[in-house]
Amino acid sequence: MNTYVEKITFLQEPAIKVGNEQLEFIIVPGWGSNLISLVEKESNTELLRVPTSVAEFWDKPVLYGTPILFPPNRIDQGAFTFGNRTYQFDVNEEDKQNHIHGFVHTRKWDITKAEAKGNSVTVVTEFDSSKHEDVISQFPHHFNIRMSYSLNGNLLTKQAEVMNKSAETLPLGFGYHTSFLYPEERSEFALSAEKRWKLNERNLPTGELEDITYREELNNGIRLVGLELDDVFLSFADSRGLHTARLVNGLTGIEISYTVDENFKHWVAYNKDGKSGFLCLEPYTWVTNAPNLKVPASLSGIQGINSGDCKTLRTWVVISNKSGQKLPDKL
């Protein structure tokens, strides 16, 4: 299978274009290592919400491509305590008085590898917090995040490695804000959801879980026409410990299987007003505002990385224009 890696310019930004005979993606390292475009080549179909200008991207950077969230979603007043340290993040959602979406999705990353070898092609990017004083001032840990993107056939694999280079245990919350194009009237969405977190008026979980009235439809496939989502779901795992969401575009016949490892037990699904033509799927290792919730860590997902240790998080996206194709047994 022909594979390729090219240095390009995307909306005036240095970028890397990667592809094979089935898929092509573009990563913009200066925009938070955002995998900004993903194209199914047989039908020449763009699968992600892609900005048309630099201004459009920076107006709402979290709503394009696949932003990396560290930590993900909202933290009440931007403040929490973990271990013996109290943290104060910037309040960047002023109307709700929350910090939202962390430090890495709008800052520059470095490309450390871009290689096509046989049937596989890989791009590696890295973020080093020690290069960003404004990050260290809020989150006083030296940490590195290494993102590895690999393409093999119709399988896109993403691996995140979070390395704690500081002397203290690092609180870990990680996620993606994947913005898929989604024509509501002709598409179907399925998620392996068990419960939904009850939210308050500031979109923060109360700590209570509630039943999903449309759970069976959501698990098996549901149309979202007229259904506005900005919901936080607790997912259940399959026999391999994996969690999966699925999108089927009725206009193109393309099916997207979005699978994450056992660390990602929480998903946010957001579609703005339910008629804007996109659906953001956001798998998280911790639930929104996890450090401030009075629930067990095993439920909230909050965990720590000891000094000198590394946490690896894996994600797989299978793109098919033949309904029913599943994630390979061997990953």
Q: Which residues are catalytic?
A: 177, 282
Nearest Cα to Cα of residue 192 among 159, 251, 240, 252: 240
pTM: 0.94
For 302, half-sphere exposure in the C-beta direction (CA atoms, 13 angstrom radius) is 19
CA separation for the pair 151, 16 (Å, rounded): 13
Nearest Cα to Cα of residue 103 among 82, 72, 76: 72
CA separation for the pair 281, 118 (Å, rounded): 31
CB 110 within 8 A of CB 104: no
Q: What is the pLDDT of residues 209-261, one digit of tens each?
A: 999 999 999 999 999 988 999 999 999 999 999 999 999 998 889 999 999 99
| Structure tokens, 161 | 């490695």
CA separation for the pair 135, 2 (Å, rounded): 40
**Torsion angle, CA of 241/67/151/108, rounded to 10 degrees?**
-130
> b/e map of 84-94 (b: 16 or more CB within 10 Å)?
eeebebebebe
3-state secondary structure of 189: strand
Q: pLDDT of the chain along its 331 residues, tens only?
A: 699 999 999 999 999 999 999 999 999 999 999 999 999 999 999 999 999 999 999 999 999 999 999 999 999 999 999 999 999 999 999 999 999 999 999 999 999 999 999 899 999 999 999 999 999 999 999 999 999 999 999 999 999 999 999 999 999 999 999 999 999 888 999 999 999 999 999 999 999 999 999 999 999 999 998 899 999 999 999 999 999 999 999 888 999 999 999 999 999 999 998 889 999 999 999 999 999 999 999 999 999 999 999 999 999 999 998 644 444 555 5
